[in-house]
Structure formats: C-alpha cells, structure tokens
C-alpha cells in the first residue's frame, strides 16, 4: 500500500482523517507546520513540501482555509509524482486547479478537488436522487457547531459575509451579496427546520463540469449559534458591524461550542427539468462534522490500495462511489434520510 500523508493533520478535519484512516487499517503520517507531527511541512512552502513528501505519496490536504491557498502543494506534487486529495470548499481554489488540469493529466497523476461536503457529497446526492438531468441544486448546511466552531472553519464561513459571492444562476456564474439571501429547509431530526444564508462554495464550478444541465446552484448555511445568523446578516449590510464581527469572532468560539448542538446535517433539494423535486439529507447526532472528511478518507484508501484507475483532475461525480459514501457515513453515525417529495419548503427573503 502506498504511503498516505495527511497535511494539516493536527487540525480538526485533518486529525479526523487520520483517525478514520487508522480505523480502516491504514498507517497515515501526520504533516503539519507545528511540533507534534510526523513530518514538518507547510502547504505554501515548496521547500518544506519537497523535504517531507516522497514520490508516490497520496496526500490528503486538510490545510485550510482554502480561500487563502495557492496551488503550491499541487505544483510540488506534480514535480514529485504524488496524488492529492483536498477538502477544499473554495470556488477560487477550484478555478486555479482547473488551470492546471492539462499538466495533471499529462503527468498521469490524480488530483481530487473538493473531495468533501462540497463537492463530493453534493455530486453523490445528485446521483442518489435519481434525477438524470438536474437543472437546480440547492444545498443547506447545518454545521455540528460543537465540533466545527474552530478558527479555520469559521474563517471559511466568514469569507462570504459582506462581499459578493459567486453562485450559478441562469446557467452562468453570477455575483450576489453574500449572506443576504435566505432560504429555509425542513431537515430531519435531530436538526429540524434550518434557515440558511447564501454563501459561496466550489459547487458552482465543479458540478456543471459533470452535470452540464445544472443551471442553478446555490448553497445556504445556518450557523445554529444563538444570535449569530442575525448578527452576520447585519454585518453583511453594514461595514462597521462587519468590522466588529471580524475583530471579535475568535472570542465567541468557546461559548459557541458550549451552547450549540453537537448534531448537524447537510441537506439537498434537487430539481429536474419536468418539475420533479427530490430532497435528501445526511444527518448525525454527534459526529456529523465527519461528513466533510469521509469522502477524502474513502478516496485516499482506494488510491493507496491501487483501486482508483482514473487520472487527471477528477470530476466531482467520480470522486467517490455514492453507495460507498453512504456506507462510510453510516459507519460514523451519519445517516441518509430521504424526504417526502411533497414536503413544503418555506422560502425566505
């Protein structure tokens, strides 16, 4: 089996990936910038990457937030001959990787971009819906705040507050004000009704590449932190409030973890050209945050074992087999729930 290196392996999602890989029988190495890791490496420092990595490595890249990342890791991996799986949710990062697609294919390597909640789970949800030619996908994130209220995750979320975000609408990329548009979704228990605010994800560019019929792709997040949705909506409209949020958000993370629920979920509404709508959710009571990690763990194990024949920049619908994903999520307590197709979905403005 090939060596697996988890970059950012001391962080929330990196450590979870290490734990799940070990439970599956792999022996991943932890790479990070700080002491305590097996390998010292910085995702933005090619010199440290060349010193830590070896030809043939399978790299799980959990060194977020990806909104601030360059393609230094992937370019170094191309030089060394490594495959890369990232947990990115950032649209800009996906666009930068697409520029490298010819080089990735020519090298015969594999880069699995956004092998996480967005876009691996989104693409799997479309396949599981049974709608062959979807025209719209709307995703709803209800994070497991007790686990996810960490600096990197929160910084990724705040990147959409108070600035234009890009979505897919009218079969093209359009800019909309982040966090102002709201929509509600009836998620199964233990979550219940969520009211999410518009934010940016990689889905807007990764999904149309494999599902060209998709004319509308939007993602909404409900912080599930008391008072946070309203505060961020105000921050999105008024620069002084936005400055106050950015100056103080780290102080509120311990309280958010204390007061917020441990369960979480990811819901999808998928519409077909004939008006048919399918709704499904992945929900968990305590380890729902692992939804972001399981796709990458499954892919890393398959790559290390020589069971991933495709090469190049891998399309979102080939990152992970949907049924294997459902089974992998079930093992960590995250269940697929299908909604009745006539369930009302309240709209918000």
> Can you list the domains of the chain with their CATH numbers?
4-116+292-329 (3.40.50.720), 118-289 (3.30.360.10)
Please answer whether residues 69 and 44 qualify as being in contact, where contact means their C-beta atoms are separated by less than 8 angstroms. Answer: yes
Residue 110 carries which DSSP code?
E
Nearest one of 61, 100, 54, 42 to 81, comparing CA atoms: 54
Kindly report the pTM of this predicted structure. Answer: 0.90
Q: Per-residue pLDDT averaged across 81-107, rounded? A: 97
Q: What is the mean pLDDT of residues 81-105?
A: 97
Over the range 208-242, which residues count as b (16 or more CB within 10 Å of their CB) and which as e?
Answer: bbbbeebbbbbbbbbbbbeebbebbbbbbeeeebb
Please write the tens of the pLDDT for every residue from 196-250. Answer: 999 999 999 999 999 999 999 999 998 877 677 777 777 777 777 766 666 555 5
CA 294, CA 327: separation in Å to the nearest integer?
A: 10
pLDDT for residue 15? 96
Confidence bin at 18 (pLDDT 50/70/90):
very high
Of 131-140, 171-180, 271-280, 329-338, the poorest mean pLDDT is in 171-180
pLDDT on residue 65? 87
Tally helices (H) and strands (E) across the chain. 13, 16
328 vs 231, which has greater pLDDT? 328
Question: What CA–CA distance (Å, rounded) separates 15 from 298?
Answer: 15
Position 150 pLDDT exceeds 60 = no
Longest dimension (CA), the chain: 56
Is 277's pLDDT higher than 60? yes
The whole-number pLDDT of residue 249 equals: 53
| Joined tokens for residue 189 | 């228990």
pLDDT in tens, 307-327: 999 999 999 999 999 999 999
State what percent of residues in the chain have pLDDT above 90.
72
Answer yes or no: are the C-beta atoms of 310 and 321 closer than 8 Å: no
- Tell me what the pLDDT averaged over the chain comes to: 89
């Amino acid at each position: 089996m090939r060596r697996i290196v988890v970059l950012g392996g001391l962080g929330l999602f990196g450590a979870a990936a290490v734990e799940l890989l070990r439970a599956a029988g792999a022996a991943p190495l932890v790479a990070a910038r700080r002491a305590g890791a097996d390998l010292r490496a910085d995702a933005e420092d090619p010199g440290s990457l060349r010193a830590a990595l070896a030809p043939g490595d399978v790299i799980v890249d959990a060194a977020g937030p990806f909104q601030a990342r360059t393609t230094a890791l992937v370019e170094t991996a191309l030089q060394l001959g490594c495959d890369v799986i990232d947990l990115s949710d950032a649209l800009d990062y996906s666009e930068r990787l697409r520029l490298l697609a010819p080089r990735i294919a020519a090298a015969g390597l594999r880069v699995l971009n956004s092998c996480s909640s967005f876009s691996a789970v989104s693409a799997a949800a479309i396949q599981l819906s049974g709608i062959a030619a979807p025209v719209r996908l709307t995703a709803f994130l209800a994070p497991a705040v007790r686990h996810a209220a960490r600096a990197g995750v929160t910084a990724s979320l705040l990147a959409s507050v108070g600035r234009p975000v890009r979505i897919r609408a009218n079969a093209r990329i359009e800019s909309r004000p982040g966090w102002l548009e709201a929509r509600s979704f009836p998620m199964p228990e233990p979550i219940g009704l969520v009211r999410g605010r518009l934010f940016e994800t990689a889905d807007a560019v990764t999904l149309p590449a494999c599902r060209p019929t998709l004319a509308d792709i939007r993602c909404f997040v409900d912080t599930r932190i008391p008072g946070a949705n309203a505060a961020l909506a105000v921050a999105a409209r008024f620069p002084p409030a936005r400055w106050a949020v950015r100056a103080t958000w780290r102080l509120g993370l311990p309280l958010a973890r204390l007061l917020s629920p441990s369960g979480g979920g990811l819901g999808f509404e998928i519409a077909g050209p004939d008006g048919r709508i399918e709704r499904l959710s992945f929900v968990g009571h305590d380890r729902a945050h692992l939804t972001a990690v399981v796709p990458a763990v499954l892919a890393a194990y398959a790559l290390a074992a020589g069971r991933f024949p495709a090469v190049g920049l891998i399309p979102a619908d080939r990152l992970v087999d949907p049924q294997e994903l459902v089974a992998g999520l079930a093992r960590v307590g995250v269940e697929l729930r299908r909604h009745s197709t006539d369930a009302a979905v309240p709209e918000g403005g």
